[in-house]
Amino acid sequence: MNKNCVCENCEFRDIVFAYLDEPTIQELCSHKEEQPFRKGEIINHEGEKITSFKYLKSGLVKLYRRTPSGEEQVITITKPFEFVSNMNIFSEDRYHYSVSAVEDSVVCTINLDFIKALFLKNGGFAMGLMAKISKINDKIITQTLDIRQKNLVGRVAFILLYFAKEIYSTRVFDLPVSRKEIADYIGMSTANVIRTLSDFKREGIIKVVGKAIEIVNIEKLEIISKRG
Give the closest residue to 110 by CA, choosing from 8, 18, 5: 5
Do 102 and 160 fall into the same domain? Answer: no
Containing 212, the helix (H) or strand (E) segment is strand 212-215
Q: Quick one: 124 and 214 in the same domain?
A: no
Say whether both 112 and 135 belong to one domain. Answer: yes
Q: Which pLDDT belongs to residue 11?
A: 55
- Does this model's pTM top 0.85? no
- For the chain, the residue count is 228
**The pLDDT of residue 153:** 94
User: How high is the pLDDT of residue 3?
Assistant: 43
Identity of the residue numbered 181: E
Q: Same domain, yes or no, for 103 and 29?
A: yes
| Residue after which a domain boundary falls, among 128, 146, 164 | 146
- 149 phi-psi bin (left φ>0, alpha ψ -120 to 50, beta other): alpha
Domain at 23, CATH number:
2.60.120.10
Q: How many CB atoms lie within 10 A of CB 35?
A: 17
Phi-psi region of 81 (alpha: psi -120 to 50; beta: other; left: phi over 0): left
All residue ranges of the chain with pLDDT < 70 are 1-17, 81, 84-87
Asked if residue 117 and residue 61 are part of one domain, the reply reads yes
Q: Which of 112, 146, 180 is the last residue of a domain?
A: 146
Q: Give the structural domain span for 65.
A: 2-146
**How many CA atoms does the CB half-sphere of 194 hold within 13 Å?**
7
**Same domain, yes or no, for 102 and 200?**
no
- If asked whether residues 52 and 138 sit together in one domain, one would say yes
Residue 163 DSSP class: I
Question: Which residues are paired to 111 by β-bridges?
Answer: 52
| CATH number of the CATH domain containing 201 | 1.10.10.10
The closest of 155, 168, 146 to 213, measured between CA atoms, is 168
Q: What share of the chain is helix, strand, coil (3-state, %, to 5)?
A: 45, 25, 30
- Dump pLDDT digits (tens) for 133-157: 888 888 888 888 888 889 999 999 9
d(CA 206, CA 199): 9
* Domain count for the chain: 2
- Distance, CA of 215 to CA of 171 (rounded, Å): 5
Residue type, 56: L
- 127 and 154 co-located in one domain: no
